[in-house]
Structure 1
């Protein structure tokens, strides 16, 4: 990268479902020390849970795209948004783009070169891929997108190192190296990384990408596996959080292979705070978020992503968790 390039640097954060992308985005916003950033968050589902969980900073502008992937159905929206943002060259220090966990990175990257009004004011700085050390093998086996994300990346964060052994980390790194021998690799827990290692690093090399894939800039249609889908469940009655945890742990055990990802904000009996529940295959977590604001509706919103899942089954299960 030429250091006299005055275009706005854009960092694309990819990674399969539940790898830790939103955690990384929040870490950047928490530690960016006055940088003025635009943050684009893309959700596969109908509503944006991740968008609600991204820190709202006075120096950051948040743009959300729901119910589609930047690599295909809402790619035109990305071009339009980047076209508007490039007009802020000189006042905007960077753009962060969090793709869905099911995004093919190549069509997203080609957007920066195919649209004249984008490439004139914005440069693609790096593809940062967050890898789930616990579930990498299963993700690679079941999803071609997971393979593409690792193979296409400039920087790989092997995340959740605190949940696996040193031997497992070495095996994961070897697998990543097999798919991508050129990427810089960092081991992280909770996506903790020195920002100097991932922001404004000039890691994206178009010539190198074209050597690997000469058709990289061609306009290819991307189609997701039709068996993979998502749905949103909403509940206005307070939830018994103990019942929720028992139910979801049971679902994770029974449907773990097909239940890729869940995430939700819950209105729970006995709590003044919003509760955030997430699961990645058979790993579930629950944490307090922030107090409910006086002007917001107290309700639960739960997004489920997976393969061959029955919405009615999950709706009945959630209804069974209502506090009585």
Structure 2
């Protein structure tokens, strides 16, 4: 891309662990208005799950920024990834794209990311941060905002906030959450969505507008650019295995692990190859709540191995993964 070309818009999608970022981005990528979007997925840990679920034909393959966090000031992965996307777009090695969507890890503080867009001259010439979209869990959001400084920062820096899973919470709780978010981010547009496809489609309309043009904003004004968290407090454990196990065995082992570490695991997610199923199974848990497992239509790549990732504030993820492997490995 020449220096004279208009900077491409970047949408930053953030939100605490399990708020629904990947679900929203998947629906955005299926929307014709977002055709031709490049996607950068940031995950904490060595194995990425989310980018496998966001492969779309006709768009550049999702690029994973693994085992780190783009919000770390000393981590230049985001800048390098944007440079790599620009280079490969110009040499034709990936399909052309009209915008970039960045999905941050759930424990990312957006402030250093916004600072990078302001301070990096090359990024300023080639990209412009169009909007920060923050997902907030309608069931767990209020408590998460009070107990997790990253979640509060994600809300405070948002241009638009989408309260997800509203159909799982009562109306009064959603109203209280809206009030809390309004106080935290008085400048942000706050939208509410349940799980219904039609409702989410309607709520995507403002995001379509945000994604179709660059909206230069002074994201630095009124924002604190310090780090709101210490990544040493967040640990991840991952396991990849090739053996095919029965779903009841896997489900029982996961239930035992979550029960034994109740209140200490922040997130569990996985993509599993299960006996007696010809399609991959997605598992997803937020804190102590497991979402119903779902079948994908197809494997997103040629990799048919099962993979599980656990995230915790302390070493619970490592302990839990060790227990899970101890239970399942002898069955391989």
Same fold (TM over 0.5): yes
How far, CA to CA, are the matches of 2:37 and 2:298 in structure 1? 26
1:3-152 pair list within 5 angstroms? 6-33=6-33, 35-72=35-72, 75-85=75-85, 92-152=97-157
Question: Counterpart in 2 of 1:314?
Answer: 321
Partner of 2:93: none
Q: Is the 8 A contact 1:249 1:282 kept in 2?
A: no
Q: Which structure has more helix as a fraction of its residues?
A: 2
TM-score, with structure 1 as normaliser: 0.86
Deviation of the 1:226 alpha carbon: 2.1
**5+ long unaligned stretches in structure 1:** none
CA deviations 1:148-184 (Å, max 9, x no partner) are: 0011111000000111111111111111112111100
| Structure 1 residue aligned with 2:265 | 259
Match of 2:288 in 1: 282
1:120 alignment partner, SS class: helix
User: Given the superposition, is the C-alpha separation of residues 8 and 303 from structure 1 closer, same or farther in structure 2, using an over 3 Å criterion?
Assistant: same
1:157/1:256 CA distance change after superposition, 3 Å: farther
Cα distance in 2, alignment partners of residues 242 and 185 from structure 1: 40
Q: 2:188 aligns with which of 173, 183, 192?
A: 183
Equivalences for 1:232-271 in 2 at 5 Å?
Answer: 232-271=238-277
SS at structure 2 position matched to 1:56: coil
Q: Deviations over 1:260-319 (max 9, x none)?
A: 1010111211111111111011221211113458x9353321000012215244233244
RMSD: 2.6
The CA distance in 2 between the partners of 1:204 and 1:168, in whole Å, is: 34
The separation in 2 between residues aligned to 1:26 and 1:310, in whole angstroms, is 27
Q: 1:239 to 1:307 in 2, by over 3 A?
A: farther
Question: Does structure 1 conserve the Cα–Cα contact (< 8 Å) formed by 2:13 and 2:132?
Answer: yes
For normalisation by structure 2, the TM-score amounts to: 0.85
> Does the C-alpha gap of structure 1 residues 181 and 256 become closer, same or farther in structure 2, counting only changes over 3 Å?
farther
Q: Secondary structure at the match of 1:64?
A: strand
**Which ranges of 4 or more aligned residues in structure 1 deviate by more than 6 Å?**
none
Match of 2:218 in 1: 206
Query: Which range is displaced more, 74-83 or 21-30?
Result: 74-83
d(CA) in 1 for partners of 2:256, 2:234: 21
Does structure 2 retain, via aligned residues, the 8 Å contact 1:14–1:99? Answer: yes
Equivalent in 170, 179, 183 of residue 174 of structure 1: 179
**Which segment drifts farther, 72-81 or 40-49?**
72-81
* More displaced 10-residue stretch of structure 1: 298-307 or 247-256: 247-256
Tell me how far apart the structure 2 counterparts of residues 85 and 236 of structure 1 sit (CA, whole Å): 32
Aligned pairs, number: 312
Structure 1 residue 107 displacement after superposition: 0.7
1:153 maps to which of 158, 172, 188: 158
Which runs of 5 or more residues in structure 2 are unaligned? 91-95
Question: For the Cα contact (< 8 Å) 1:8–1:92, is it kept in 2?
Answer: no
1:37–1:95 CA contact under 8 A, matched in 2: yes
